[in-house]
Structures are given as C-alpha cells and as structure tokens.
Structure 1
C-alpha cells in the first residue's frame, strides 16, 4: 500500500477575485505593514525583499504575519480550497498549512503577494490514470474483498505529491 500526502500552494495577490482570497490578501498586507515597523524603524527599506536582505531575523515576518490569516484558514473547516476531484467535489482534507510572504511593498499594496501551502492528510494512492491520481482515504480498504471508494484528482499547477509514506514493516510476520 502506498500512502501519499499532497501539497497545494495557493498564491494570493492583488488580482484575487474570491472573497476569501481578498480578505487574506488585505489582512495579511495590513499585518505586514504593522509587523514591518519592528524590523524597519527608520523606514529605510521599502520592500519585503529589502527588509529580508538587510535586517537580521526578518525571516520571522512570515510567522508574525501568519497570525492575520489563521482565522480565515479555520473557516475552511480543514477542506483544502480550490482542488476538486473529477466530479467537482472538494474532498481533500488538511491538518497543516504554512503561510509565506512572497513579496510586499510598504508603499504599494498592489505588490503584496502571499502563499498558503496546504498539506493534505495521508491518502492511499492506488494508481495514476493519465494526469489523474486515483486515491482514497488512507483508512479505507482493509479487507481483501472490501470495496474502496476512490477519488480521481488531476495533477495541476501548484498541486504536487509532497511525500510518500512508507508503512512500517508488519512485525506480526516476524513473530513466528
């Protein structure tokens, strides 16, 4: 049995059209401006890149700004956004996410760009058909004749196999 986790990298910028994306974008920008003051007290740096390059410890801004989006991520109810199976259903669940500042400018909000990286719960990977992965919940299909309900999810930009989990060897076979 092959178990995998998927990672979806959702990039959000000024062109966002969905309301959830727009809220994450706007609130993360406001929080970036607030937190950047601690790393840029004399306003000598204008962009996130400059602050990151010239100010020691500025990589903490990713974490500090992430607090502004935690509530929005909770609204997703552990459902990975945007990615559906071939029947149009959202089925992927996540437990972990990581927020990342990609770009920002203290004087030009339109340059603000962030990413939220979602890591799915483990899935059983049955096969690949064309550009579709055939997957099911990791806990299904225990018996030899058990029916396993599957989903077909298309490989697409910003969605990738994050990890392949190797199950521990079955110790019961060595107990004899």
Structure 2
C-alpha cells in the first residue's frame, strides 16, 4: 500500500510538473508572439531634398490652390475648338484649410493669357475629355480637397500667363506660369 501511495503521489506531482511546464511554455510563446506582432513605430519621413517643381501653389488662410506647372495643349480636341483656337489643359486642386465647409467651383477659375484676354474653362471640352472625373461644384469639408482637369479654349499662339481662383466668399488666389505649353503625344 505504501508503494501505491508513492506512485500515486509521484503521478500527481508529475502531472503538476507537466501542467506548470506547459503553462510556462505557453506564456513564453505568447510573449514572443506579442513581441513579433507589436506595431513598430514608423520612421519620420525626411523632407524632400528638392523643392516640388512639378506644381505651383498659392494659399490664403482658408484655401490652397495647386496647379500643374506644365500647361498642355490637347491636339485631339482641337477639332472641337473654334477655328483659330486651341484647347489647353491644366490640372487644378483646391484644399480646404479652414474649420468650415467651403463651396468650390470650376466657374471661379480664370486663365489669363499674355495678350490680356481672360478665359473661363470650357465645360463641354472638359466633360468630353474627362467625363466624370472633372472638377465639379462641391462643398469641401475641412482638411479635404477637390479638383480635376480643366480645359480652356484659347486663341492659337497665346501663352498662359496666370490662373486665378476668385469666388464669392472673397478668396482670390493667383498663380503665375513660368513655362510654355507642352504638347501631349
């Protein structure tokens, strides 16, 4: 009987030892797994070494207007333009920096050429080329942006001098173009 008790005691003790060992291995496995899957801090991005030369920007306290530096002529759409005119495209983006919703509209955008003539965008040409992705009338909430491709029908040989965004809320943003138009291929 004495031997039976020792074996029983040994079996129980061995079982407890196995449970403790299993729990210990399980804890270490969970800790290792948690350490491997923990979110790592992303490094802070370095500022660009060069200034962004692809876009031109103008800003006031509420809005930031960004346009592509290069104005492109669109040869395929010149068949839709009036005789003596050509279609040029400009990519426009307006960001809301204020705390309130701000309505923006492509009708507030004007292109002035070197001959002093001001042009509004051509809604029909813009819609024909861009479809649903064109810049539309919208109210943009804080920290959001709106924009798209605008196509202007200007006199052939004219060069864009500046682009103005002027709305009824008093925003007046002007961007001057330093480059000449480029043709799309």
Q: TM-score, normalised by structure 1?
A: 0.28
Higher relative contact order (Cα pairs below 8 Å, separated by 6+ residues): 1
Structure possessing the higher radius of gyration over alpha carbons:
2
Q: TM-score, normalised by structure 2?
A: 0.27
